Amino acid sequence: MPPRIRSSNCPPQQLLLNYLDAPLPSSLLPLHRSSAPSSSSPSCRSQQTSPQCQQQTSSFSTSQPREMTKPQREFRAFLKRMGKQFEKHEGNGPKYLCQVHQPKVDNVPFPSNKSFKSEPVLSSRARQTIWEAVMLKGMPLKAVSAQYQVDMRRVAAVVRLMEIEKRMERENAAMAIPYAQAVEKMLPRANLDSSEEEPFEPINDVHVHSFTMQQLFVPVSESREFTRKDAAKAFGDHILPPDHKMRIPELVDMEKAILNGIPQEKAEQEFLKQTRESERRFAESQKYVAAKKDAKKSKVDTERFEFRIENFNSEAVGKKGRARNAVGWRYGVPFNDRQRGLYKIPTSVG
């Protein structure tokens, strides 16, 4: 501990004043002192009541405040005049800079980048609608996706997140609802009402594989029927025909049925039946995979935890014992979990 000076002998304020009164050697003086009187100089301190002197520096500072740059000055001026209306968000929906001059343009947030359009997000009401359709009415995800024109993956994500939200509500967990509401008010959003004419997003887009982007000449006899399946095979053995790449092929079947003269209601019923069946099959296959994985593990229940012990072959470690999928932390190999520039965000939901 450094020795302390007793306060009765030397009060700290006195120390400061002594320091300020002592003349500084010329080499220590900052350059601006020669031109402008500083607040710490005796001349300034004598007239400390003048507002200019107080504004320039704090009482303890010996340096001059930095001058504002031109952009900074302009920004301050903008905040005082035009920027005033952006200080507090009012109304329902986004308020962009472009709307000041062109009130009709409502989805361009950056005035210098006209081609960037902000897309609407699902409103909380829309999310509730989707959740009710899936969890309460028990509609298959594909049917919900088709009804509201929302991508199937987004429907699944909405249901997952809503379930987490509801669980937090049940557990009385702390939630930032006012914050969420405030942010939602500032965003363009879609309610998924029947009044909205444009669909929210395309739902049945087919992914284009880069292999299929090339031009290919395949000699085919005239008598042969050359289908999409054959075309896909011509591009590569692993390339799927577009009919298999569709997320909701049942929609195509429904349209075909309507074209063949089957009444729309009946076709829709059939669509619901097909989607339900495909969802059941998918769930079953997932269950089978999970059960198979589970069967490998032996479970030991203790009072506090359940230990899940998975048997495996530790000898499959490759020629040098450093195979990527070998068990355990590897020896003599850097572990890049903290290296910059690598994606560490999980790409699947477990």
Residue ranges that bind another protein, judged by CB under 8 A: 167, 298, 300, 304-315, 317, 326-329, 331-332, 337, 350
Q: How far is the CB of 328 from another protein (least distance, A)?
A: 4
* Both tokens assigned to 45: 């301190």
Closest distance of CB 350 from another protein, Å = 6
Pairwise CA distance, residues 248 & 60, whole Å: 71
Tokens of 242: 């577009």
3-state secondary structure string, 43-92?
A: HHHHCCCCHHHHHHCCCCCCCCCCCCCHHHHHHHHHHHCHHHHHCCCCCC
- Strands 189-190 and 297-301, by their bridges, are unpaired
Q: Which is nearer to another protein, 229 or 297 (CB)?
A: 297
Q: Give the nearer residue to another protein in terms of CB position, either 28 or 309.
A: 309
Which of residues 90 and 306 has its CB atom nearest to another protein in the complex? 306
Characterise 139 by phi-psi region: left (phi > 0), alpha (psi -120 to 50), beta (else): beta
Provide the residue count of the chain.
Answer: 350
φ/ψ of 298, rounded to 5, equals: -100, 140
Q: How many other C-beta atoms can be found within 10 angstroms of the C-beta atom of residue 203? A: 21
State in angstroms the smallest separation of the CB of 327 from another protein.
6
Based on CB atoms, which residue is closest to another protein, 138 or 328? 328
Q: Please, what is the minimum distance in Å from the beta carbon of residue 131 to another protein?
A: 16
Nearer to another protein among residue 179 and residue 305 (C-beta):
305
Name the minimum Å distance from CB 325 to another protein: 12
HSE value, Cβ hemisphere, 13 Å, CA-based, for 35: 4
167 or 207: whose CB is closer to another protein? 167
Nearer to another protein, 329 or 343 (CB): 329
Distance (Å, rounded) from C-alpha 3 to C-alpha 278? 81
Q: Work out how close the CB of 345 gets to another protein at its nearest, in angstroms, rounded to a whole number.
A: 17
Q: Give DSSP secondary structure letters for 157-213.
A: HHHHHHHHHHHHHHTT----HHHHHHHHHTS-EE---TT--S-SS-SSPPP--GGGG
Please tell me the number of Cα atoms within 13 Å of 46 on its side-chain side.
Answer: 4
Cβ atoms of residues 186 and 89 within 8 Å: yes
Tokens of 125: 């009401």
Smallest separation (angstroms) from another protein to the CB of 277 = 23
CB 318, min distance to another protein, A: 13
Between 31 and 309, CB nearer to another protein: 309
